[in-house]
Chains A and B, each alone.
Chain A
Amino acid sequence: MKNILKNRFKIIGVFVLFLFPLVSCDKEILDLENPEQFTLATYFKTPDQIVQGTNAAYGAFFQFWVGSYQWPEIWDVLGNETHATAGALGSYHEVSVIQMMGYQHNETNRSVENLWRMWYVMILRSNLVIDRADIYLEENPSNDLVIRSRGEAYFLRGWAYFNLANYWGKVPIRTSFDQSENINAPLASSADEVWAVAESDLKIAQSVLKDVGTYGDSDIGRATKGAATGFLGKLYLTTERYQEAETELAKLEGHYDLLSAEDYLWNFGETNENNIESVFEFQSAYQEGDATTTMFTNVEGGPTPAMNNMQPQLHSWNGWPNWKFPPTREQAFLYQDESGTDFIDPRGAETFYGGVAGDDTWCDMCAEDPNRVYDFAGLGYYYKKKGNKEVKPSESGTAAGAAVSGNNIRQMRYADVLLMRGEIALMLGNPSGCIDFINIVRRRFGIFEYTAANYSDSEVFDLLKREREVEFMGEGSRFNDLKRWGILEETLNPEFQEIYGTQPVRASHYFFEIPQNERDTNFGL
């Protein structure tokens, strides 16, 4: 017999014991800390962490397909310096570039959007570094690492605003990491306002950063005083402030030089990158294994950063290839010397395979039968500049599998500096000064030099146009040059007429449109 009554108090006691600890349980269990991520409150407090912030700002270049493959393609198609194969025409990933090839890009074009986003990611990450470095330097004003990182951040932000001003004109300006006020940002009132930000940033970078010679082996590839100076000069040239442009670009003399003719291809290949001719380039690393997928999804939080690019894959004979050298562009290398004799510019053989001016031996680095005769009929024309001479295992073979090239993406080399100075001289009314700079560049290959007295001002301009075209073909320069000179339509429409039978270039194409997705999300516009 059990008496419920007797048990009752015992049970209530048990119950109280059970309930009490639970009811009074600790609210601290709710204070969780993310085991996977740092927060802003705790990170970017040390020089190393601030340097990491800068590294990430560089890494922005490889987001949104830009560094990985679209960077050269966009400028190639806009400058009519490449020819799409069926491989590109049929590829999902090339749709937006193909649209640009026909000057059909608009506010919904994916490549336009990708560039926009890439530059703003770079700006955000640079703002973060500047913000944190300022805080750090208040306490430790002489920390070289932090000073340098902050300078690099100013360089990258300046480079980004330079491009935004150049390609869009008026854009939202975001110069603070504190986004509480500017999540929605209005357009700048004028392009000049954007240029001014770029100018100021590059000046700060120039004043803070050190010369390339002072960088240790492990820091090669970072922005230097020279890089900042080069882009500041280019900014002045683009905005027609010629005197200031000359002042800046002249500062690079002595710090940089042209490579020899034999080493010319170092400007494009994977060995001897960041050489004496290089003013600034984005670094890209060869990655063994199948990185194709990573190529398209190279994202924050992804497993491994795949800072490689598909340039050899997409442009050369050992790739797919999506793009070839356009035979119509060969004409640039075929001209007459001052005596009226037909001349083949030797840079043609450094630029492409095929035709009269191109290289007629190929596969320089192939294990089997190197330097065999180029099969013009079978292969068509190919960019030599974009083909990786140093073929890595997974880039060769019948179906060249992965896109894993480590070719750095060059942004400015000394030949450009020289020809910019030539352009400045011409614009300042000194055509013979222009010829002098042109001749320096020609001298590398021992090409006949121009005699200033033989040319009128407008003829000097034609020589400059040709020189830039021949020297920089396939390097993304032509579209910007034509745009700067205001001769986009008159130059390109006849060329397109000949190839495609259309004349698509219009005055509206000097600037990209603000991406539709920005319009849909930025309520400040």
Chain B
Amino acid sequence: MFKFDLKMKLTTLLLFTAVLGLYANDGYAEKTKVSLDVENATVQEIIDNIESSTKFNFIYDTEHVNLLRKLSLKFKDKLIDKVLEQIFGNTNTNYKVKGTQVILYKSLIDKASKVPTIDRSAVEPIEVQSIITGTITNESGTPVGANVIEKGTTNGVLADFDGNFSIDISNENGTLVFSYVGYATQEIALNGQTTISVIMAESAVNMEEIVIVGYGSVKKSDLTGAVSSISSEDLGDRQATSVAGLIQGRAPGVEVSGDKIRIRGITTFNNTDPLVVIDGFLGGDLSTVNPNDIENIEVLKDASSTAIYGSRGANGVILITTKSGKKGAMEVNVNFWSGIKSTTNRRDVMNATQYIDYVHDALTNANQTITDKLLSDDVRVDRNDWQDLIFQTGNTSEVNVNISGGSDKATYYVSLAHRADEGIIIGASSKATYLRNKNTFAIKPWLDLGINTALSYKTAKGANPSFVQMLGYMPYKEIYDENQIGGYSDVDRINDASDVSNPLTRPNKIHPERNTLSYQTQVNLKLKPFKGFTYTIQAGLKGNSERFFQWTDTYVSASNVSVNAMQESSSYFYSPIVESFINYTKQIGDHNLSGLLGNTWQDGIQGGGIGIGATGYATNEIKLVSVASSPEAPTQSLFIDSRLSYFGRLNYDYKSKYLMTVNMRTDASPNFSPSNRWGYFPSLSLAWKISEESFLANSNAISQLKLRAGWGRSGNDAIGQYRYLSSVYSQGVGYPLGVSQQDAMGATVVQNASPEIKWETTESLTVGLDYGLFNNTLTGTIEYFDKQTNDILFAVPSPLSLGYGTGLDGGTIDGNAIVNAASVSNKGFEFLITKKGDLGKVNYNLSANYTYMENEVTGLGLGQPFLSAVSRTEIGFPIGHFFGYEADGLFLTQSAIDAANTAAQASGFDFFQEASTSAGDVKFKDLNGDGRIDGDDRTIIGNPIPKHLVGLNLSLNTAQLDFNMFWQGAMNLDIYDEGYRWNRAGVRILNQETSVLDRWISESQPGNGIQPRALSGDAVGNTRPSTLMVQDASYFRLKLISIGYTLSDQLTSKFGLTKLRIYASGENLLTLTGYDGFDPEIGGENLVRGVTSFIPPVAKTIALGVQIGL
């Protein structure tokens, strides 16, 4: 039994514990079971009890532990951690188990008042009276280069690399203060000692969750904004191929579809991607990050937390912290996994006989002749299932190695990963290699240096087949035809009466390859000239260079011969950034203040590319442009950009109970005219830690309760460059003149200037409640948000008669001038609840989140609703809702359509719907009741923005087994299926889905009353945008299930390893949905969101992996 008054016998204790540490058995705590049964016993008595029944020794400062507190406890065979949690979990006492030692210490929060403050005015010459020397180590004996300050003075020194220090002091009975980043500050009264050894305890702050916020970090409990935090532990150990996939369903209010991340709804038509900040580097690219390198992801959701990023924060911010080296021995981790992938879904298409019957029907109904070939028996033979030939079992495997470690002065983390992937669709394969290096150097006590470098190299090969062709190519066709150029069978445009070509031709004849090297490097210099003050300057460079090469063999597709051709292009992009900022923290009594002031400077962002191409190759061997007979004109592109920002923040709290954060950022964007260039983005947020109030302090049920509210404004300038100026194009507008008909150069304006456009702004209000109940075993958040976006910048489709927009036919220039076009509100609730606990030997963690969202357009800049394809924006409706006709069954009989036409003629129209609408055609609703169907009968027919988002995560762990299951879903959203008009409507001479079997055939065979008659060409407009194309796409999907087994320490050490875990996991194994397309989980961009045109099915993946720690 050891129990000391530290003041009296510190030296002895430290020496003794240091010696004891040598014998400490690190595995003791994991093996020893503690049983306890006490009624109303003091903490002192309980400690005595444990010490007497086990080898555990308690070491503590009597001032730090309330030994007289009384408790009633009953345990049987619990681990010491659980016991300590029960005893001290609710108090200010922290504990740490090191071998057989149990160290108790007070948490820093309450000790705050004891943190030495440096009075800069009291700099006076001090008479040197004595010299104190000593050694500083941490609990594991590693030297710590801590600061040593004589309390009440500015006199201080720094311990050297070996932890030795020597300080002249003015008062031999004074107190020394030892402090170091990551450790609890310690005060030791000298009482005349001249030699002391100090053991620094790891800081309580470190143990509490720290949340990275813009240009700084904050204790999670001190957060005032809406931030979701996802740590690598939440993510579990599993294979991961995209960062977006890691985030999906983990945080309320965050919607992920494919690689698109949307935070709290769709606020704009423009770029709705959140800002990505990787290790403080503004504007990172998620695709260049190896998910295995991620330590932590923070999602900043409300403007009060994103305003520090100003214009770039309007869509939320994703802060990625990559793994770092930690002080201590080198760690080597290897993670290898390999898996196979298959399709989740297919579409049923008709067989040859069904197809031919359909074709006869479709041609006859359109007064077209049925060719002899289509009348023969030969075309009723099923020869190929094109989906079988195009879908394949894909595979994917990855190896990850990371090495990390460090000393007090420097840490390192190096990781290397390589992934090879072959898709579930023929033709495409990819490879990726990632390298990341992260070093930190504590050069001086006042100077830290960090250097991060990340490289990714990706190769993507292969051309994808067309899904229209895959579903539509005739089942009676052969794969090969030696008489065709290129050797693949082709459609005979006359005899097959179709222009759908062989889906296998493209992937076999076109050979694209894209190689992309991306890099992101950053140097981070931190100066700490005096206590509480940090000046950081970080300079970074990111960029990429890409090479694309495509060779096309000669082939024929729908009678169209593509001659052998080569295309090559190279592009580059680089983007430097310099940010500098000052953080200052000051404590005055119970008032804590911290401030931030800084700027961001981006100049010289550059990019561009060149491209060449040629046709007319005699052979396939040499692919240089120099041997081609017809080189194409080279192309070139150039790009420059810049940004300038200033920002500041003030945090204030009183007793860490009432908290306030004020942010301000101003951004200048060259996307606006000089007079509208600067945008100002302030925010204010407040929090009240109710649980700190005396009336809750002793509550057993409520361990944590915080109410917070915030308001802020952020902005968006992602409209592309130079849109405030007019644009004159000379490409693509020439004209061949003269006898020789050489192209004469042309030039024209392709876009009006919009000098008056200004920043789009989003104001958001958030009210949230964070709670932790029952000793924080039940935690969660309830949050209300109201985001109002004004002056949304959008290129509202201009009238066709304005004469712009030839680019719509496949070019990039839509010719529509940008205007501040609309306002939209996103309101909703978010709920997060997490329950932790154990069932005997099994620890469980069950976490669920739910978001309810409502999106509504509240204003229109031009005063008129507008339409982009089928997506409409109108006050009172969700942004980009689907707009079209309401189908109302079919005209089942000719007399029905005749009656409708007669009525229409009575109203003065030629006909009710279309001139040749007949029995079997879709009947649309005459919504405006004018007696005919026209554009005025369109209405909202679907909403692509989900109202409900859910995520559900369950993990179970025992000492050796781990299990994780993760579900994700979205409800109350629609998909508009562009594929309908190709493969489902029965209007094209190409194979159709089996739903067409239920079509109207005659008045005596009316089918299911929904599927209209087959009609080649669709002269009657059965495929106009209507409810027939819209489907509910709610889904609930088992995104991930994994199970792992970690070998016991004894076994692992036999192999000379520190960790050995094997695991299996499956992705997308089960999807519950009523949607019958390939995949309900489609995103789509902004205004055309939710419109699918053959999105490939998501892959089902099953993988096996092994993790090794060396």
- How distant is A422 from chain B, measured CB to nearest CB, in Å? 32
Q: Please determine whether A299 and B494 come into contact, CB atoms closer than 8 angstroms.
A: no
Q: Please determine whether A124 and B804 come into contact, CB atoms closer than 8 angstroms.
A: yes
Most buried by A among B599, B639, B801, B1019: B801
Is A391 interfacial (CB-CB < 8 Å)? no
A46-77: which residues lie under 8 A (CB-CB) from chain B? 49, 51-53, 55-60, 63-65
Q: Please determine whether A124 and B561 come into contact, CB atoms closer than 8 angstroms.
A: no
Most buried by B among A123, A399, A515: A399
CA distance A31 to B862 in the complex (A): 29
One of A2, A29, A401 near B561 (C-beta < 8 A): A401
Q: Please determine whether A521 and B800 come into contact, CB atoms closer than 8 angstroms.
A: yes
Q: Please determine whether A300 and B733 come into contact, CB atoms closer than 8 angstroms.
A: yes
- How distant is A498 from chain B, measured CB to nearest CB, in Å? 13
B366: chain A residues within 8 A (beta carbon): 89
Is B813 interfacial (CB-CB < 8 Å)? yes
Q: Mark A100-137, 1 if CB is under 8 A from B, else 0.
A: 00111011100001001100111111001000000000
Q: Mark B890-915, 1 if CB is under 8 A from A, else 0.
A: 00000000000000000000100011
- Give the contact stretch, choosing among A202-210, A213-221, A431-439, A463-471: A213-221
B371: chain A residues within 8 A (beta carbon): 86
A397: chain B residues within 8 A (beta carbon): 561
A242-263: which residues lie under 8 A (CB-CB) from chain B? none
Known contacts A89-B366, A401-B563; A303/B801 CB under 8 A: no
Q: Mark A331-366, 1 if CB is under 8 A from B, else 0.
A: 000000000000000000000000000000000000
- Give the contact stretch, choosing among A191-199, A286-294, A448-456: A286-294
Is A519 interfacial (CB-CB < 8 Å)? yes
Q: Please determine whether A300 and B806 come into contact, CB atoms closer than 8 angstroms.
A: yes
Known contacts A35-B639, A125-B803; A301/B561 CB under 8 A: no
Is A32 interfacial (CB-CB < 8 Å)? yes
Q: Please determine whether B726 and A304 come into contact, CB atoms closer than 8 angstroms.
A: no
CA distance A401 to B727 in the complex (A): 36
- Give the contact stretch, choosing among B12-20, B278-286, B735-743: B735-743
Q: Please determine whether A87 and B535 come into contact, CB atoms closer than 8 angstroms.
A: no
Is B52 interfacial (CB-CB < 8 Å)? no
A85: chain B residues within 8 A (beta carbon): 493-494
Q: Please determine whether A27 and B494 come into contact, CB atoms closer than 8 angstroms.
A: no
CA distance A198 to B670 in the complex (A): 42
- Give the contact stretch, choosing among A138-146, A171-179, A232-240: A171-179
- Give the contact stretch, choosing among A90-98, A412-420, A473-481: A90-98
CA distance A515 to B800 in the complex (A): 9
Q: Please determine whether A290 and B565 come into contact, CB atoms closer than 8 angstroms.
A: yes
Is B258 interfacial (CB-CB < 8 Å)? no
Q: Mark B138-160, 1 if CB is under 8 A from A, else 0.
A: 00000000010000001011100
One of B668, B728, B731, B738 near A39 (C-beta < 8 A): B728
CA distance A520 to B868 in the complex (A): 10
CA distance A85 to B368 in the complex (A): 9
Is A522 interfacial (CB-CB < 8 Å)? yes
Is A472 interfacial (CB-CB < 8 Å)? no
Is B603 interfacial (CB-CB < 8 Å)? yes
- How distant is A483 from chain B, measured CB to nearest CB, in Å? 18
Known contacts A35-B639, A40-B749; A289/B632 CB under 8 A: yes
Q: Please determine whether A103 and B644 come into contact, CB atoms closer than 8 angstroms.
A: no
Q: Please determine whether B748 and A53 come into contact, CB atoms closer than 8 angstroms.
A: yes
Is A297 interfacial (CB-CB < 8 Å)? yes
- Give the contact stretch, choosing among B382-390, B495-503, B959-967, B1047-1055: B495-503
Is A1 interfacial (CB-CB < 8 Å)? yes
Q: Please determine whether B630 and A288 come into contact, CB atoms closer than 8 angstroms.
A: yes
Q: Please determine whether A15 and B809 come into contact, CB atoms closer than 8 angstroms.
A: no
Is A485 interfacial (CB-CB < 8 Å)? no
Is A296 interfacial (CB-CB < 8 Å)? yes
CA distance A184 to B79 in the complex (A): 77
One of A1, A102, A322, A518 near B801 (C-beta < 8 A): A518
Q: Please determine whether B1017 and A1 come into contact, CB atoms closer than 8 angstroms.
A: no
One of A25, A52, A92, A501 near B601 (C-beta < 8 A): A25
Is A37 interfacial (CB-CB < 8 Å)? yes
CA distance A113 to B616 in the complex (A): 37
B462-521: which residues lie under 8 A (CB-CB) from chain A? 484-485, 493-499
Q: Please determine whether A500 and B367 come into contact, CB atoms closer than 8 angstroms.
A: yes
Q: Please determine whether A124 and B802 come into contact, CB atoms closer than 8 angstroms.
A: yes
Is B729 interfacial (CB-CB < 8 Å)? yes
B446: chain A residues within 8 A (beta carbon): 4, 7, 11
Q: Please determine whether A307 and B736 come into contact, CB atoms closer than 8 angstroms.
A: yes
Known contacts A120-B800, A302-B731; A289/B615 CB under 8 A: yes
Known contacts A18-B537, A89-B497; A283/B736 CB under 8 A: yes
- How distant is A311 from chain B, measured CB to nearest CB, in Å? 15
Q: Please determine whether B801 and A171 come into contact, CB atoms closer than 8 angstroms.
A: yes
Q: Mark A19-45, 1 if CB is under 8 A from B, else 0.
A: 100110101011110111111110110
One of B559, B601, B603, B746 near A320 (C-beta < 8 A): B559
Q: Please determine whether B737 and A89 come into contact, CB atoms closer than 8 angstroms.
A: no
Known contacts A3-B157, A4-B446, A285-B736; A399/B746 CB under 8 A: no
Is B1020 interfacial (CB-CB < 8 Å)? yes
Known contacts A292-B560, A320-B493, A518-B799; A2/B157 CB under 8 A: yes
Q: Please determine whether A40 and B728 come into contact, CB atoms closer than 8 angstroms.
A: yes
Known contacts A55-B737, A219-B737; A37/B367 CB under 8 A: no
Known contacts A120-B803, A221-B738; A301/B750 CB under 8 A: yes
- Give the contact stretch, choosing among A369-377, A381-389, A487-495, A502-510: A502-510
Q: Please determine whether B445 and A2 come into contact, CB atoms closer than 8 angstroms.
A: yes
Known contacts A30-B677, A55-B746; A399/B485 CB under 8 A: yes
Q: Please determine whether B529 and A11 come into contact, CB atoms closer than 8 angstroms.
A: yes
CA distance A4 to B750 in the complex (A): 63
Is A298 interfacial (CB-CB < 8 Å)? yes
Known contacts A284-B736, A523-B864; A296/B123 CB under 8 A: no
B876: chain A residues within 8 A (beta carbon): none
**B803 and chain A: residue at smallest CB distance:** A124
- How distant is A89 from chain B, measured CB to nearest CB, in Å? 5
Is A411 interfacial (CB-CB < 8 Å)? no
Is B866 interfacial (CB-CB < 8 Å)? yes
Known contacts A56-B735, A289-B630, A521-B866; A86/B495 CB under 8 A: yes
Q: Please determine whether B726 and A39 come into contact, CB atoms closer than 8 angstroms.
A: yes
- How distant is A77 from chain B, measured CB to nearest CB, in Å? 12
One of B157, B739, B811 near A217 (C-beta < 8 A): B739
Is B43 interfacial (CB-CB < 8 Å)? no
Q: Please determine whether A52 and B727 come into contact, CB atoms closer than 8 angstroms.
A: no
A-B contact sample (4 more), CB < 8 A, given A90-B496, A172-B799: A64-B809, A285-B741, A502-B367, A523-B864
For this complex, 28 residue pairs linking A to B, each with C-beta atoms less than 8 Å apart, are A4-B158, A22-B599, A23-B646, A25-B601, A39-B753, A52-B747, A53-B747, A55-B745, A86-B494, A90-B493, A102-B367, A102-B1019, A103-B915, A108-B935, A120-B803, A218-B740, A274-B739, A284-B741, A285-B742, A289-B615, A299-B807, A301-B811, A303-B632, A320-B493, A399-B561, A402-B561, A402-B563, A516-B935
Residues in chain A within 8 A of chain B (CB atoms): 1-5, 7-8, 11-12, 14-15, 18-19, 22-23, 25, 27, 29-32, 34-41, 43-44, 49, 51-53, 55-60, 63-65, 85-87, 89-92, 95, 98-99, 102-104, 106-108, 113, 116-117, 120-125, 128, 171-172, 174, 179, 183-185, 217-222, 274, 283-286, 288-290, 292, 296-305, 307, 320, 322, 394, 397-402, 406, 500-502, 504, 506, 508, 515-524
Residues in chain B within 8 A of chain A (CB atoms): 123, 147, 154, 156-158, 166-167, 363, 366-369, 371, 444-446, 484-485, 493-499, 527, 529-530, 535, 537, 556, 559-563, 565, 578, 580, 582, 599, 601, 603, 615-616, 630, 632-633, 635, 637-644, 646, 668-670, 674, 677, 721-722, 725-750, 752-753, 796-813, 815, 817, 862-864, 866-867, 910, 914-916, 934-935, 988-989, 1016-1021, 1024
Q: Which 7 A-B pairs have the closest CB atoms?
A: A124-B803, A401-B561, A297-B810, A299-B811, A522-B799, A56-B746, A285-B736
